[in-house]
Amino acid sequence: MTIANWSFLAHLIEEGVAPNRLPANLESVIAERLEEALAGAERAELDDIKATLSDFFSALLRQSPPDAAAAVRGAASASEDSVAAFWLGQVAFAQHLAAQAAERRADDRFTDVFSNASLVGYVRALAKSDHTGRELATLLSVRPETVSRRLNELRELGVVDYRRDGTSLYNFLTPQARAAFDSLVEPEALPHRDPAKVRLMRSRQQNVSNTFRDWPTLSNPPLLGN
């Protein structure tokens, strides 16, 4: 990630684009690149990005209707509708950035598990079939106590869940973990996702507060280039 990746903002400034004429998905592009920068950029690069965004903001402000500009500046003369729209935009972008970061962290978490020598064997075994702890102990040639400990780790990470069949507990990959695992291997080598397991996970989510049930996702890919 370099400051050159933000050059599209300079192009928009040169074109004199107005706030109501911005390209579709611009907020997705900015959120994605800002999250990447915050995760790994040096201080000097962050300062450059800050200046670039400041210039872009100032250019948009100059092109804004007077009432909208007054709302941004916090002027008492701004209408209630403009103030509401401004704050909705502020909060929406913050949520957008949080969602972007959350998705990336989730991907990183699964990638870390899949590259962990002590855990990847469980993932590979469960990618092929559901198993009880005893079956996993036999397949992986490890002690049942170790299997129990590893499965607890994987459940806490959201990689594994279980279903009850009589007196037995069968472990399986969560839909999110399977999707992440499928992206790392040949899809045809794995069984299709089981809709019944997806329904089980959704039923468990019903007991979770709506606030924490799902992160909002970015529904459309970015359309802008560098």
Span 109-140, pLDDT tens digits: 677 787 788 898 999 999 999 999 999 999 99
pLDDT at site 92: 87
Name the residue range of residue 185's domain: 116-209
Q: Are residues 131 and 166 in the same domain?
A: yes
Q: Are residues 181 and 142 in the same domain?
A: yes
What letter would DSSP give residue 226?
-
Task: Identify the three-state secondary structure at position 77.
Answer: coil
Instruction: List, in order, residues 6 or more apart from 79 with CB less than 8 Å away.
Output: 67, 71
Q: Do the domain assignments include residue 60?
A: yes
Q: Do the domain assignments include residue 142?
A: yes
- Cβ–Cβ < 8 Å for 82, 92: no
Task: Identify the three-state secondary structure at position 189.
Answer: helix
How far the first Cα of the chain sits from its last, in Å, is 11
Does pTM top 0.75 for this prediction?
no
Q: Do the domain assignments include residue 226?
A: no
Stretches in the chain below the pLDDT threshold 70: 1-4, 100-109, 184-226
Residue labelled with tokens 């990959």: 173
pLDDT at site 130: 95
pLDDT at site 225: 40
Q: Are residues 25 and 122 in the same domain?
A: no
Structure tokens at 113: 């598990």
Q: Are residues 138 and 169 in the same domain?
A: yes
